[in-house]
A and B are shown apart, each in its own frame.
Chain A
Amino acid sequence: MRQLQRTEEIRDSMLREKREEAAGGFTRREFLREGLRAAVLVGGLPGALSVLGAGCAREQSGLRPELVRGSLRVGLDADVPTLDPAMHRSRTVEAVVRNMCDGLVARDAQMNYVPQLAVSWRVEDETRWIFKLREGVRFHTGEPFAAEDVKFTLDRIIGAIDGLEQSPRKSLLGPVVGTEVIDEHTVAIVTEGPYPILHKKLVFQEVCPKAYFERVGAEEFGRRPVGAGPFRLVEWRPGERIVLERFEDYYGGAPEIPPAGPAELEGVIFRPLEEAATRLASLEAGEVEVAVSVPPDQADRIDGLPEARVSVAQGTKTHFVGLNCTRKPFSDRRVREAMRYAVDPKPIMEQFLLGRARALPGILVPMAFGYDSSLPAPRQDTARARELLREAGHGDGLSVTLDCEAADKRIAEAIAGSMQAAGVRAEVRVTKKDNLLNQLRRQERDMFLTSWGNSSLDPSGILPVLFRSDGYSNFFGYRSPRVDRLLDEADRAMEPEVRRQKYVEIQRALHEDIPTCFHFALEELYGVSTRVLDFEARPDGMLPMHDVALRAQV
């Protein structure tokens, strides 16, 4: 409450300043009018404009022309609702915020884990990790980074601070129950039970400065966040642009990801361009230098342009067709197996997605920890599918609805088209993404095309939430005591080899039970101007701009 008041005081004083400025501007306006008249008489319109320019120079926004010229411009595929690192579950927000706010741990381009604001860590006992923090790091406000900030950041996410809204990122920290400040540059993170992947999970949390947050309050922090990252926020016009400029006092970032030191670029400007067509047109027109998520069918064309190329990374998100195991017709395993053989992956991967996707045997992508490469590759077998359907009492074919969100409509229609050969008449129904997710969580849909991202590349980021009996996104009503037990065992196994074995067993169980079929992963495709140096697409969809450079415009 007191905090709120303080925020309002600050806002009031800012308003006062603005008003005073406006009042001072009155006489200036009169001066301008006279000057303008004279200038028009003498020098015509250009002269008049320059007089106006001189008069108003002081009132321009904080954007320096050099900054805007020397900035890399990025076309994003989604709008950004907040810039608060703790208050979103959006990859786009994370990609933007990561440039402003560093975390304890980061990943390099090959997805190796490296210390960032931490220097090192060790596991003291199964439920207690000690992190040594980097010294001499400053936030954009000039205040030093210290253990209190780490504690504040993590406490806010796990909901240990009263009076703040619950962070939607809590579940990303799993069983973390608290943080202790040991000294100014050492913290201990305490978990409930063993949590072998804590350091991997810390990649998704950026450190926020406690003092600044308490000064401005949660709402203002979401609009003007401060961090210890390579860029700092200059201006955010929602729906239009987010302008970042180089933070000159940057400590240099993770030493394992050279080069160190402040960023090369003057700044970065992010612009939401949700429509793929507009995003690509802006890239072609030179209005942005990087366009996020190029549709597969546009990739070759963009790559063929003289002024741009396509940068490719293996995706970490799996698309799949989910089947509701709790009710007819898919409560019958034979019908689910028929679905496995109903779709022909080849034309869909090669023709519709132009080879920019690959069909997978299961829900995990090959890069993921514990991926089981022994499962058979998906293929179509219409005779087998028809036979299975006949056995299950659907001799004259099966009519079902295939639900999906708007973005997946085309692929869903391709899948439905492919199923016809196996006697499956699937009708595609498009629902708003959020509505669909809720319907799926209530297990109200029979067959659906959806996707689940797992940029942690650890099975714990995707298997429990989808396939545990009490999994929050168990869309399938899938219940297997054995899988539940294996998931628990994997969670507690501090030994990587043991964990790997557990996850392999789980994948085989899922292959046997078929709650999902027709898995595939799309490539991450980025359209990149040839002016951009050292930008490469990453599997996790992050856009770290620290090491990127921009060739001057010709």
Chain B
Amino acid sequence: MWGRFVTRRLIQLIPVLLGVSFIVFFTMHLTPGDPIEHMLGQAGHVTQEQIEELRGHYGLDRPLVVQYGLFVGNAARGDFGLSYSHHGRAVASVVRERLPATLELTLFAFVMALVFAIPAGVIASLRPQGVFDRGATIGALLGISMPGFWLGIVLMIVFGLQRNWLPISGRIDLAVVPPARTGLYTLDALLSGNGAAFWSALKHMVLPGLAMAAPMAAMVMRMVRSSMIGVLAQDYVQFARAKGLPERTVVGKHALRNALIPTVNIVALQTGLLLSGNMIIETVFQYPGLGKLAVDAIGAADYPLVQAVVLIYAVSYVLLNVGADALHAVLDPRVRVA
């Protein structure tokens, strides 16, 4: 039943990805700006012949529809063509280099958001309109209303420049030897027992991670809070209390589990937004991940690279939602029936 549920959702993914690839392909190719001209840039004298040769090399001389067909066919096999702005290297390999950085930062921001949001939401729900609740609500509102790039810059000024507490750019201190295995520096450092590298990589993620996590933490906190308030008013919780179970058990065991069910989907949604926020934050902090790569690729009219990155974002968004629905189904059997 479960397998079928997931399979069905995964099959639904196909038209979505086709649609995404269609939009991105045609907007990139129909907007003005010739990638070959970008490539040549300041290259000095170039003959028309050489331009045509390059066009042929990158397959840009074929009809657009054929190009699209080739693109989809190749992309399905994980081949995204050659990157214009990376000296004709394969897009897949360029992306692979940057993916771990983004993955690590996103995971870090994700964990940070949940670590703040869930306890804050629970505590706030215990005493609605209490001091903590009001404080947390105001904090959450600020979190949603702050533009990420600005929060990033303010964090940079306060913690990086005025007090030299935290690094404001890059992934790891250059003086630390980074172990190379998965590409996730904190994990690599742990695997190789390099405490200094772990600490350095972690420190580098704090400021960009905070700036990324703020809106997600705010949304999740509000969701947890309101859903906890709802659950705590339910009969079975009152009953558990009446039985004389300690408040800890009541809140932690009975209420929280149920309150988290509706939170799962909002977490998935917010994680999707987290991904789209990383472009701005990575640009602000010069973090060498996928987001910064995308911004640079767009500036260089590097179609194949942009297409690949857009598809990666779209796939991860869809997978997140499938995952959330599956998790939802695990936690709440009613969903499966419906």
Contact = CB atoms under 8 A, between A and B. Distances in A.
Give yes or no for direct A-B contact (beta carbon below 8 Å). yes
Interface of A: 46, 48-57, 59-61, 63-65, 68-69, 71, 73, 79, 81-82, 84, 87, 89, 165-166, 168-172, 219, 222, 237-241, 269, 271-275, 277-278, 281-282, 284-285, 287-288, 432, 434-435, 437-438, 465, 472
A288 B167 CA distance: 12
B45 A239 contact: no
A166 B50 contact: yes
23 contacts: A49-B194, A54-B193, A57-B192, A59-B192, A61-B179, A63-B178, A64-B177, A68-B175, A68-B176, A71-B174, A168-B44, A171-B44, A219-B88, A237-B97, A238-B288, A273-B169, A273-B286, A278-B168, A281-B160, A281-B169, A282-B169, A434-B38, A438-B37
Contact of A287 (B34, B174, B193, B296): B174
Given A61-B179, A170-B45, A288-B174, A238 B97 contact: yes
Given A60-B177, A84-B87, A282-B168, 18 more contacts: A49-B195, A50-B193, A56-B192, A60-B179, A61-B177, A63-B178, A81-B87, A166-B46, A170-B45, A237-B97, A238-B86, A269-B174, A273-B170, A278-B168, A278-B169, A281-B169, A285-B164, A285-B168
A434 B37 contact: yes
Contacts of A239: 97-98, 288, 292-293
Contacts of A277: 156
Contacts of A171: 43-45
**Chain B residues touching A, range:** 35 or more
B286 A275 contact: yes
Contacts of B300: 434
A56 B170 contact: no
A56 B193 contact: yes
B245 interface: no
A288 B193 CA distance: 25
B244 interface: no
B299 interface: yes
Contacts of B293: 239
B63 interface: no
Contact of A219 (B38, B50, B89): B89
B135 interface: no
B40 interface: yes
Nearest to A438: B37
Q: Which A-B residue pairs are the 10 nearest by beta carbons?
A: A53-B193, A171-B44, A52-B193, A239-B288, A168-B43, A49-B193, A56-B192, A278-B169, A82-B87, A61-B180
B299 A52 contact: no
A71 B181 CA distance: 23
A271 B175 CA distance: 12
Contacts of B222: none
Contacts of B174: 68, 71, 73, 241, 269, 271, 287-288
A59 B97 CA distance: 19
A287 B97 contact: no
Q: Is the interface of B mostly helix, strand, loop or mixed?
A: loop
B181 to A, nearest CB: 7
B88 A53 contact: no
Nearest to B89: A219
A59 B181 contact: yes
Given A68-B177, A84-B87, A472-B44, A240 B296 contact: no
Nearest to A51: B193
B33 interface: yes
Contacts of B170: 240, 271, 273, 282, 287
B306 to A, nearest CB: 14
Interface string B113-154: 000000000000000000000000000000000000000000
A455 to B, nearest CB: 13
Nearest to B176: A68
A53 B194 contact: yes
A87 B192 contact: no
A205 to B, nearest CB: 14
Contacts of B94: 238
B40 A168 contact: yes
Interface string B280-319: 0000011010001100100111000000000000000000
A165 B88 contact: yes
A51 B88 CA distance: 43
B41 A437 contact: yes
B74 to A, nearest CB: 18
